[in-house]
Amino acid sequence: MASDLLRHPFLVFALSFVVLWFAAWSGAFLRSKLGFKLPGDLHEDFSVILAASLTLLGLIIGFSFSMATNRYDLRKNYEEAEANAIGTEYVRADLLPQAHAAQVRALLRQYTNLRIQFYETSDRDQLPRINQDTAQLQNKLWAAVAEPANAQPTPVRALAVSGMNDVLNSQGYTQAAWWNRIPPSAWGMMIAIAVVANVLVGVGAHHSKATLFVVVPLVVAVAFLLIADIDSPRGGIIRIHPQNLESLHTSLSEQ
């Protein structure tokens, strides 16, 4: 359930802002309504604890942001690698007999279109169909290069087989990169520290003003929004656009 929630960045923003705002007001309630006051000699120590908590929260947010951007860059690099592998195999199809070469090229054009759909779709109900069609097309592609290679194994035709192997492997690497996201346990630790830090902000505040308890929760919630958006390949605004695959598909269609 937690992983499903993290696929919706704006929901993460709304929930985190409400939770952190409530945490700040809870700290203020402990201070003012319940008479929770620090002795004078502990104020300095409390300020150190508050500063350390906010610093730790900032470090964890920065670390999580780095994790999200690294995964985003990895997905982007694999999109480029897929386009290169498909384009290379399209050229290597000349190494096969004419009939098989024409079949491989036609299948690669269909395959490129399917890969573009994989990147662009935001409808998770379509993914099983896209993945199923991709798997079926991969079997046809492999059979189209394996048959002539088995019939007449030569080093030249082995290049076509090797290129097709790269095409199939690149799709597997891409899928693994899309599954690789920030673990929910890391999110849980980050949220727990944010809640504690906001409670301490409320306890240490001198005035219970509404605007005072909005700033820190809002800033942290925006940071959570950005991290969740980058880390969500399909649910966010910042997404991988398959420009390399689209350019390749255009060039293949013109041939």
Residue 168: alpha-carbon gap to chain centroid:
22
Give me the pLDDT at residue 37, please.
62
- Amino acid 211: pLDDT: 65
* Residue 25 belongs to domain spanning: 2-253
What is the reported pLDDT for 125? Answer: 80
Long-range own/partner contacts, residues 103-110 (CB < 8 A, 24 or more apart):
103/144, 104/141, 104/144, 104/145, 104/160, 104/164, 105/252, 105/255, 107/137, 107/140, 107/141, 107/144, 108/141, 108/167, 108/252, 109/249, 109/252, 109/253, 110/137
- The pLDDT of residue 129 is above 70: yes
State residue 26's pLDDT score: 85
- 159 class by beta-carbon count within 10 Å (0-12 exposed, 13-18 middle, 19+ buried): middle
Output the pLDDT for position 35: 60
pLDDT band for position 232 (cuts 50, 70, 90): confident
Please state the rounded mean pLDDT for residues 234-251: 88
d(C-alpha 142, C-alpha 161), whole Å? 8
pLDDT at 185 (0 to 100): 87
Q: Taking the alpha carbons of 101, 102, 106, 109 in that order, is the dihedral positive or negative?
A: positive
Comparing C-alpha atoms, which of 116, 97, 118 is closest to residue 253? 116
- pLDDT higher than 60, residue 210: no
Is 139 in contact with 120 (CB distance < 8 Å)? no
pLDDT in tens, 176-199: 999 888 888 889 889 999 999 988
Contact indicator for 217, 21 with CB cutoff of 8 Å: yes
pLDDT of the residue at 127: 87
The whole-chain average pLDDT of the chain stands at: 87
Residues 82, 171: Cα–Cα separation, whole Å: 7
pLDDT of residue 208: 59
Total of domains in the chain: 1
pLDDT tens figures, 150-169: 888 888 888 999 999 999 99
pLDDT at 205 over 80: no
pLDDT digits (tens, 9 = 90+) for 47-89: 788 889 889 999 999 999 999 999 999 999 999 999 999 999 9
